[in-house]
Structure 1
């Protein structure tokens, strides 16, 4: 049945509802596909032929770009109504991208079509959907091509200089990732943090972002504001000399510690990777799990404020402890 509703002021369809508010000009979302070989193809490009002989444009009806699907676990209660919640997890994500490929002639159409097919080939590895909003913030999602480009020569789906298709892509990790990596440094000498940092991410055009620095001799406490509703998993890069290393997230009460007799020699690098599916501790590429204390935890950054305490001893001006992470998001909008 309809829900009765009344308005104190009758809205005028020709005017903004709030006359004191000025609408913000906002460019359209820009979408690209990056193949495993690095070919970047605009999916919201120009199909008029004015800027290039052929292009690809997004048509109406994309799906799967928002929240992932969640799998809820619960137990049925034998003598009571309802059930008892146990856990939840985000499942893999399927995305549908309806496209039209258009060229100024048959040759340019086929060239663009074949370029897209090569970039979609899942046997070469995953690709990336990258969505850039009007404010310039970009987020990407690693996907594999599943179906949709098999081809249909019906009158509604293909012509001499155009082809319509609806790509189905599957993301094993359902969360969108920021293109800007957050970075925090701790050192004995504040001048030591000015050294350049090169990201080792495989994602193309990935630029790390330095956020702040702290000194170990000032207590090692730094507030990290994680602006997402999804936990983030940091990677620690610790350059010696270091002894008595302790990395604590006071927000969660979890701590990672090395054994009292474990050290990072001068010039050596200890890497603590807490990311799901990796979970490794290495010293110059050699497994260093035995150097961890038994009560250690490879903790994550929870949404919101995290106060991280880093303590160590026997440091020199060449000692550098670096935390870097990539925020994850529920959708391409945040």
Structure 2
């Protein structure tokens, strides 16, 4: 049944008017694939042969780059209509990217094709699909190759210098990650703050620019951490220098994790706390497990989307003590959201 609607009618009865808005000039999206071997291959490159002998381009019809699919749990209500919502979770994400490989001759085409195959091989581990939008923000998704590049001669549009196939990738973590890490520090003296640990956040290619906010260990030393993610973000904590009864609290959510009151972190070692689901480790840099030194009621909490009031307390700190929180924002789509 058709819906009798027009574009210029509103329920108030007022006619719509033209909006005085100047369209924003928006650059094209740039997409790359980074293999485990470190090879960065443009998927929105030049296939004219004017710049390189061979190139790869994305044709019409990519799918799976937006919202992930969600699995909803619910209970059917006895003797009543409908159901009762229980929970939701994002499932693994499959992405289909129709690719075109074109070269100026058969040799250059095969060379580019084989380069992509080596970078896609899932036996070597996952790769990273990175999309750089017109806003200048790059977001990446860790993926494994699933199918699509088997090859087929049934398509009459292919030739000795032209290869087409739908590349299917699967992301176990369905969320896109920003390429900009957020960082917050707690210390006694701002002059004492310095980099002391690797910024490695799980093997992502390239390295992140940092934003730094500082606070003290005083009882009022609260920091408002803004999680500009669409979903929860799981931070990694680092601590260097002496600290007794270290306590890390998300005042906004009421969650706390803390070392035992009688335990003092040694000055010579750095502590790392990774709250990522499936990882969740509390170790020294040499790998020593410190879970036995944690309080039994500790919970390795996430940052909720938006503002989080974070409080770090400890006794026995000095000018060389530094506690650092850093996290990478996560998004629902390659354009954010």
Shorter-chain TM-score tier:
over 0.9
Partner SS for 1:180: coil
Asked if 1 retains the 8 angstrom alpha-carbon contact of 2:192 and 2:320, the reply is yes
Equivalent-residue separation in structure 2 for 1:156 and 1:212 (angstroms): 59
Give the alignment's TM-score, normalised by structure 2.
0.94
Question: Quick check: 1:115 aligned with 2:115?
Answer: yes
Shift of 1:155: 3.8
> Judging changes above 3 Å, is the alpha-carbon distance between structure 1 residues 219 and 156 closer, same or farther for their aligned structure 2 residues?
farther
Note the alpha carbon deviations across 1:192-234, whole angstroms, 9 max, x for none: 2243664123111122413311122372200011112200000
Shift of 1:280: 0.8
Partner SS for 1:109: helix
Note the alpha carbon deviations across 1:176-200, whole angstroms, 9 max, x for none: 0111111000111111224366412
Question: Quick check: 1:322 aligned with 2:337?
Answer: no
Among residues 294, 297, 302, which one is paired with 1:300 in the alignment?
A: 302
Question: Quick check: 1:243 aligned with 2:244?
Answer: yes
Match for residue 206 of structure 2?
A: 205
Shift of 1:157: 4.7
RMSD over aligned CA atoms reads: 1.5
Asked if 2 retains the 8 angstrom alpha-carbon contact of 1:100 and 1:163, the reply is yes
**Size of the alignment, in residue pairs?**
327
Match for residue 88 of structure 1?
A: 88
Equivalent-residue separation in structure 1 for 2:117 and 2:308 (angstroms): 44
Match for residue 14 of structure 2?
A: none
Partner SS for 1:312: strand
Partner SS for 1:112: helix
Shift of 1:76: 1.4
Among residues 271, 287, 312, which one is paired with 1:310 in the alignment?
A: 312
Asked if 1 retains the 8 angstrom alpha-carbon contact of 2:258 and 2:294, the reply is yes
Query: Aligned runs of 1:185-200 on 2, under 5 Å?
Result: 185-195=185-195, 198-200=198-200
> Judging changes above 3 Å, is the alpha-carbon distance between structure 1 residues 256 and 237 closer, same or farther for their aligned structure 2 residues?
same
Asked if 2 retains the 8 angstrom alpha-carbon contact of 1:198 and 1:208, the reply is no
Match for residue 53 of structure 1?
A: 53
Shift of 1:6: 3.1
Structure 2: gaps of 5 or more residues: 10-16
Question: Quick check: 1:289 aligned with 2:286?
Answer: no
Equivalent-residue separation in structure 1 for 2:219 and 2:315 (angstroms): 13
Equivalent-residue separation in structure 1 for 2:111 and 2:8 (angstroms): 58
Asked if 1 retains the 8 angstrom alpha-carbon contact of 2:219 and 2:313, the reply is no
Match for residue 74 of structure 2?
A: 74
Note the alpha carbon deviations across 1:75-116, whole angstroms, 9 max, x for none: 112221111212111110000000100001111000000101
Give the alignment's TM-score, normalised by structure 1.
0.94
Note the alpha carbon deviations across 1:222-267, whole angstroms, 9 max, x for none: 0011112200000000112011211110110111111110110112
Shift of 1:18: 4.1
Query: Aligned runs of 1:253-292 on 2, under 5 Å?
Result: 253-284=254-285, 285-292=287-294
Equivalent-residue separation in structure 2 for 1:283 and 1:151 (angstroms): 48
Equivalent-residue separation in structure 2 for 1:155 and 1:244 (angstroms): 67
Equivalent-residue separation in structure 2 for 1:7 and 1:333 (angstroms): 27
